[in-house]
Amino acid sequence: MTVINFTKMQGLGNDFIILDYEEYKKSGKSPESLALELCNRNFSIGADGLIIVNPNPETEGADIGWIFYNSDGSEAQMCGNGIRCFAKYVTTKGLINKKEFSVETKAGLIIPKILEDGKVKVNMSKPVLDPAKIPVRAENPVNFDIEVMGGKVFQATAVSMGNPHCVIITEENTKMLALKHGREIELSPLFPSKTNVEFVKIISRNEINLDVWERGCAITLACGTGACASVVAAIINDLCDKKVKVNLPGGALVIEWEGNAENTDYDVFMTGPAELSFIGDIKV
């Protein structure tokens, strides 16, 4: 058995275990097995995901990198709440000595900025609506039909924020829909890489409510990339303006996007909190 040090952080209740690269190497285990072991809420620390700091990124222009795994041991391209926690972690520990920097991720370079109030604003890059790149098996990713058990049909919009999302805008109870249909849609053959699933209720042009079924995690209290994808979908459908408060079970994010249905070539910006939960050590 080996003892490793860890930090637990959360963004709107979406929680993560963060390991320095030396601690990860000391464990002698793969990221997949560590994620499965450490994220177990009954027998270990418990978390929605595992983040490993990569101090030596290979991408040109990257100041630092990360390795991210969901609690089920699957690697994820991106995680919005996770990247805010990562940004606070590396700046607090002095691994990065500037307020705005670039992070190497599987979704490309992501740029977080630590604000004066302690929140983190992240340039989440451009949304992807090319069906082949999301990926989704639909000719048009905007307002296509998706049928679930019982014959119920939703209209969905698929968006990638570095990871795939299926956004369903509805007047029904979004929490109940996520619980009832989230896993089925996640595993739908329409999504060859599986998908995150967002159920959205429009409150106004500047505010939405959101419940999320996360790929590889199930129901979570918040999803940053899901909030971004949901706002993009709402704007494309002319239901929201360019700056939107997104209410999630764990709290609120502010998402900004200058794009529209005719021109999606704009970066999405996400602003929200990231907080330390606790630090500790564990035998692995």
Residues 279 and 251 in one domain: no
Report the length, in residues, of the chain: 284
Contact 277, 256 (CB under 8 A): no
In a domain, 135, yes or no: no
Contact 51, 57 (CB under 8 A): no
Structural domain boundaries enclosing 257: 144-266
Return the pLDDT at 50: 98
In a domain, 130, yes or no: no
In a domain, 113, yes or no: yes
Candidates 39, 24, 104; CA nearest to 72 is 39
pLDDT tens by residue, the chain, 284 residues: 899 999 999 999 999 999 999 999 999 999 999 999 999 999 999 999 999 999 999 999 999 999 999 999 999 989 999 999 999 999 999 999 999 999 999 999 999 999 999 999 999 999 999 999 999 999 999 999 999 999 999 999 999 999 999 999 999 999 999 999 999 999 999 999 999 999 999 999 999 999 999 998 999 999 999 999 999 999 999 999 999 999 999 999 999 999 999 999 999 999 999 999 999 999 99
Residue identified by tokens 């429009």 is 202
Is residue 223 part of the annotated active site? The answer reads: yes
User: What is the chain's alpha carbon radius of gyration, rounded to the nearest angstrom?
Assistant: 18
The SS3 assignment for 158 reads strand
In a domain, 198, yes or no: yes
Residues 198 and 117 in one domain: no
pLDDT digits (tens, 9 = 90+) for 104-151: 999 999 999 999 999 999 999 999 999 999 999 999 999 999 999 999
Residues 165 and 262 in one domain: yes
Residues 68 and 22 in one domain: yes
Q: Which residue in the list 39, 85, 166, 223 is annotated as catalytic?
A: 223
- Tell me how many domains the chain contains: 2
Q: Which residue in the list 79, 166, 217, 240 is annotated as catalytic?
A: 79
CA 194 → CA 6, 163, 184, distances in Å? 30, 10, 10
Return the pLDDT at 183: 97
Residues 9 and 119 in one domain: yes
In a domain, 132, yes or no: no
Return the pLDDT at 102: 98
Residue identified by tokens 């990360």 is 66
Continuous segment of H or E residues that includes residue 200: strand 196-204
In a domain, 44, yes or no: yes
CATH of residue 45: 3.10.310.10
In a domain, 22, yes or no: yes
In a domain, 137, yes or no: no
Residues 229 and 115 in one domain: no
Residues 10 and 111 in one domain: yes
